[in-house]
Chain A
């Protein structure tokens, strides 16, 4: 197999604009910076001239973020085929195909896979070339036909190609044209010494490239630590619904890129540029790595609902920290349970509904205070636990305490420290004569910490039948009810 493949985006600004807005495909589109036409359907015309020719022309400004994302997506496609990829920038990436034979037995298989994956990430305009050197692969991509050049056919492929395919500097191209050199073959046949004497180092380098030589070593790109996508709003967005709709596009593109790498988004970082020029950033955690776009949109939306930006938004950027996607294995013998991604959304929705810190798994605290409890994060792995159905016999029914949070202040009447009547003016507190009483049970502790306590606890049955747990705070001197038995 030829050792190199090349991915080439012919017009990066245009491809980036089409990737961000796929619905523009097929319409006359111009991507320009201010008044100067940079690229597009009507290359070389001013914007006014272009509008005369095509009244339904769509004009988009050059978006550097979109171009960067498109370039990263190109590299991601390359990385999905080979781990050795050179990011040349400007809509160009090379792959070292050495060692991929077990995955792709033929170069045609590589080209097909790359084409399909480019389409999946919205880069249909990108071209694929495969050749024995990076230069040949690039020329194959630019030429388009054939896209695969074997080492033995390289010379025959290169010779008839026009010189423009190598994109020589304008001055050098003019001089070569004056010499009557129009093809790579003609340039290759020129003697190197004389060529160097007349055209200098640049001319020799061009001649070497015309022979298919690579002028620089292969520089592999480092592994990607984060994935980034963004978009600019056509107008200031102050509505959360519209913002959630806008964020879907970047999240979809992110999800496709992550899917290519077999990864999911573990954490999202949302950065919004506000109308006043300020930046609003929000981290959105996912309980499990996921590439499901509805889940990611829901998480971002809930995060924005909880903490809205407060000003109209003009630009947004989403950065995903990747994580491995762990497939969840269903169990035939266990009750069904939410999938990890669904659990993440449910927890986020519940947190948005009832507030942070009010959703989680109950936890006993390492404390001597009877009322001490806490809420821990609900961990799907910990929640699954060992399966004991059919093996463990249920214990005998135990009395439950219904906690009163916070404890209700009460007034206690009695003799010799024994309660005879309890009164509470707070809702849900005890009220009435005591019919039976147990206690006191003195509890004191945490004298080694900052909040020591000393209490006498009583269990009381009141005339209405309720059984309450009350205590006398020996430090403060008041009486409190902190639970009822049920």
Chain B
């Protein structure tokens, strides 16, 4: 099966058609028509539990800092896009402070976020990123995301606890929602909700990358309405 697939792919590649085609397996046998493990319904899996965990669809809690942390490939960026989507669906503006300069407009659009409603700020240093987030909060943006992934630990340690306290105060006083994205937990008790994301597996099927399966768990004690403590979710790859 895979040898045949590789032959077809090679022909398409030689013909210069692979830019237009993505070649994968078609279910030829009864065995292959069975639902794959990732498609089986599970408890706590899917969009609804994830949205319940993120608080999407509810009236947003004012003045709270949400921390989303985990390793690269654990779906944390997709979760932040999901939170930004919730803000733009309510008609709000989103401020996105992007220290690693990693924001991809196509992914944002695929996530459903209105690009016009998002202000993208690309600072070069950690103090400038924190200051930019504070400026956006004080200006009245109802949702501000601060992506600090990739910042050197030394730079993060150098800013000190006072900077986090100032950010937390700005979030409280502005009554906005701020999301902190990183590989480790940084805000500590300042975060009203801390979500830890971990990768379950990458879905490759018949030579195609189909997406990621991940799990989000609450790493902090809930302060607001009861919500599930963890859920599994799948992120589907879309080439367009």
Contact = CB atoms under 8 A, between A and B. Distances in A.
Interface stretch (A23-31, A149-157, A347-355): A347-355
B118 A361 contact: yes
Contacts of A440: 13, 18
B105 A335 contact: no
A114 B120 CA distance: 48
Contacts of A437: 204
B114 A385 contact: yes
A360 B116 contact: no
B165 interface: no
B115 A398 contact: no
A402 interface: yes
Contact of B150 (A336, A363, A428, A466): A428
A346 B105 contact: no
Contacts of A379: 116
A395 B72 contact: no
Contact of B207 (A335, A438, A483, A485): A438
Given A387-B91, A399-B212, A338 B139 contact: yes
Nearest to B119: A378
Interface string B69-102: 0011111111101100111011111000000111
Interface stretch (B30-38, B184-192, B229-237): B229-237
Interface centre among B89, B100, B104, B132 (most CB of A within 10 A): B104
Contacts of A370: 106
Interface string A357-393: 0111111100000100101001100111101110010
A207 to B, nearest CB: 67
Interface centre among A342, A373, A385, A397 (most CB of B within 10 A): A397
B72 A353 contact: no
Interface centre among A333, A338, A486 (most CB of B within 10 A): A486
Contact of B116 (A355, A383, A484): A383
A486 B73 contact: yes
B176 to A, nearest CB: 9
Interface in B124-161: 124, 128, 131-132, 135-136, 139-143, 149-150
Contacts of A403: 101-104
Interface residues of B, number: 79
A370 B11 CA distance: 24
A186 interface: no
A378 B82 CA distance: 21
Contact of B78 (A399, A428, A441, A466): A399
Given A338-B140, A385-B117, A486-B72, A438 B209 contact: yes
B107 A399 contact: yes
Given A342-B139, A346-B135, A395-B112, A362 B103 contact: yes
Contacts of A486: 72-78
B19 A373 contact: no
Given A354-B123, A400-B77, A465-B73, A346 B116 contact: no
A205 interface: no
Given A353-B132, A486-B75, A394 B104 contact: no
Contacts of A402: 72, 77, 100, 102, 104, 149
A354 B124 contact: yes
A227 B109 CA distance: 44
Given A392-B89, A438-B208, A375 B120 contact: yes
A442 to B, nearest CB: 4
Given A346-B139, A399-B235, A438-B208, A362 B105 contact: yes
Contacts of A350: 121, 132, 135-136
Nearest to A436: B204
Given A342-B139, A404-B102, A442-B13, A360 B73 contact: no
B85 to A, nearest CB: 6
A484 B204 CA distance: 15
Interface in A381-427: 382-385, 387-389, 392, 394-405
A244 to B, nearest CB: 18
A443 B100 CA distance: 26
Nearest to A345: B139
24 contacts: A336-B142, A339-B140, A343-B139, A346-B139, A353-B128, A353-B132, A361-B117, A361-B120, A362-B118, A364-B109, A370-B106, A373-B105, A384-B117, A385-B117, A389-B89, A394-B47, A394-B51, A394-B112, A398-B235, A403-B102, A441-B19, A443-B19, A461-B202, A467-B202
Given A338-B139, A397-B47, 13 more contacts: A338-B93, A349-B135, A354-B132, A383-B119, A389-B90, A397-B50, A399-B236, A400-B107, A402-B77, A442-B16, A456-B13, A485-B212, A486-B76
Interface of A: 331, 333-339, 342-343, 345-347, 349-350, 353-355, 358-364, 370, 373, 375, 378-379, 382-385, 387-389, 392, 394-405, 428, 436-438, 440-445, 456, 459, 461, 465-467, 483-486
6 smallest beta-carbon distances between A and B, as pairs: A335-B92, A459-B209, A346-B139, A335-B142, A486-B77, A399-B235
